[in-house]
Structure 1
Amino acid sequence: MIKALVFDFDGLIFDTETQEYKAMVELFEEYGAELPLEVWGKCIGTHASFFDPFAYLEEQIGQTVNREELRSRKSERVNELLKEEKALPGVEDYLKAAREAGLKIGLASSSHYDWVSRHLNFLGIAEYFECIKTADDVENVKPDPALYLKAAECLGVSPEEALAFEDSANGALAAKRAGMYCVVIPNSVTKDLVFDEVDHRMETMAELELHLLIEKVQKQGE
């Protein structure tokens, strides 16, 4: 029986991933280079060190770049783009429905706590989360299951009693490795990634009420 929900953050609650990719593409274009989505997809849902876009840029143009300057410019551009963003469709409805149903609510993100908490407060939904686990809490981020295992422990449930929501292949793999149910809701950047076995896939959280989704997932798992 599902007793808890554990949400990813980037690309699932707040579409930071589309904006980050857009900002990186703009930088590459300044050098006459391209950053294919299938290449960028390697680092989605995991630690940035998994793929270094600036090293990739240097390979493309055959020269070194000022990485610190580009990182700073990218961050500024991402923050500028995110000012116009809101929580993705259905997110707040799911949080409200979960609270009304007495489900525990957690979050597991490969990003750092200051990034996640700042945006949760910006969106006005931080109060819903009883437990937030981030890259600051584990040695290895997704696709390692540690974040999800720690979130379950923090919420006082077994992984088998939790339903994870993910948008990335790395995140979905982490949730399933932890032993959780997993529903994927890819965004425009992750929709073409290859997802291993998951319990359900949706376009947005707005397409199915939470209680119906839980019934569907639990029935499939019987």
Structure 2
Amino acid sequence: MKFQAVIFDMDGVLIDSEPFWKQAGIDVFDQIGIAVSQQEMQALTGMPAAGIIKTVYQRYQQMPVPVEEMVKRMNDCAISMILENKPLMPNVPETLEKLTALGCKLAVASASPRYLLEQITERCGIARYFQYLSSATELDYNKPHPQVYLHAAHQLEIDPQACLGIEDSVLGMTAVKAASMHCAVIPARMERNDPRWSLADYKLEQLTQIPKLFA
């Protein structure tokens, strides 16, 4: 078999949650008097909540609320919207079913907290497909560091070089490649021509193309 495991990013790959994270950032900053634009939040895609908050505080030279408290507010706001909407990406169950039928081990490697990973996979009916959920919030480093992907591979007992990582952000792609894994990216339509995607092994348009990489 070409790959023994496929490790998925969650936000923007399995669930269309990026709009909710962006809106949560705009909302929580607005509540403390910092007007962050949609464009600014777009530029921070793939960055964990703490990184977003520190970047915005630095840019506006303000820190009215401690970073840890803002992380909690942003997580709570986004998670509430995500769980309410259950925005599963198209063709997720079918793709996971095909990969499972190919004898492939599956995991998630995400910057999101574990309770969100567990609740989303449960509520969207896809929890049974994953052997492990790797959350960078429980580790020393977040993406673009490879630790969250290496941890997932270790838990699956698969050599990183036999793993395929699926990402939608440049930060995430960097983490996958730093973990010595093969990488497939599924960029948002507006970002598809970014030359940085050349670092990836495969550039796909949709999830249904992943099982075809095993041919």
The 2-side partners of 1:103 and 1:74 are apart by 31
Code of the residue aligned with 1:213 in structure 2: it is: L
1:12 and 1:187 in contact (8 A); partners too: no
Aligned to 1:211: 211
Cα offset for 1:24? 3.2
1:88 aligns with 2:89: yes
What TM-score comes out, normalization by structure 2 length? Answer: 0.80
Aligned to 1:184: 185
1:152 and 1:159 in contact (8 A); partners too: yes
Alignment of 1:1-222 (within 5 A): 1-25=2-26, 33-37=35-39, 39-41=40-42, 43-52=44-53, 55-56=56-57, 59=60, 64=64, 72=73, 75-76=76-77, 79-80=80-81, 82-187=83-188, 194-195=196-197, 197-206=199-208, 208=209, 210-215=210-215
Cα offset for 1:91? 1.5
Q: SS at the partner of 1:143?
A: coil
Q: SS at the partner of 2:154?
A: helix
Aligned CA distance change for structure 1 residues 77 and 138 (closer, same or farther; 3 Å): closer
Aligned residue pair count: 211
Deviations 1:169-213 (A, max 9, x none): 11110000001111111347866865450012223214x3x3323
Q: SS at the partner of 2:106?
A: strand
Cα offset for 1:43? 4.1
Q: SS at the partner of 2:199?
A: coil
Code of the residue aligned with 2:41 in structure 1: it is: W
Structure 2: gaps (5+ residues): none
Cα offset for 1:129? 0.6
The 1-side partners of 2:53 and 2:198 are apart by 24
Cα offset for 1:90? 2.0
Code of the residue aligned with 1:16 in structure 2: it is: S
Pairwise CA RMSD: 3.2
User: How much identity, in percent, do the aligned residues show?
Assistant: 27
1:95 and 1:128 in contact (8 A); partners too: yes
Cα offset for 1:42? 5.3
Deviations 1:93-116 (A, max 9, x none): 111011111111111111111111
Cα offset for 1:150? 1.2
Q: SS at the partner of 1:150?
A: helix
The 1-side partners of 2:149 and 2:71 are apart by 32
2:142 and 2:148 in contact (8 A); partners too: yes
Code of the residue aligned with 2:109 in structure 1: it is: A
Q: SS at the partner of 1:6?
A: strand
Deviations 1:65-107 (A, max 9, x none): 7985896488346623652333101221111011111111111
2:14 and 2:92 in contact (8 A); partners too: yes
Q: SS at the partner of 1:51?
A: helix
2:10 and 2:109 in contact (8 A); partners too: yes
Structure 1: gaps (5+ residues): 216-222
Q: Which moved more, 1:20-29 or 1:95-104?
A: 20-29
Aligned to 1:219: none
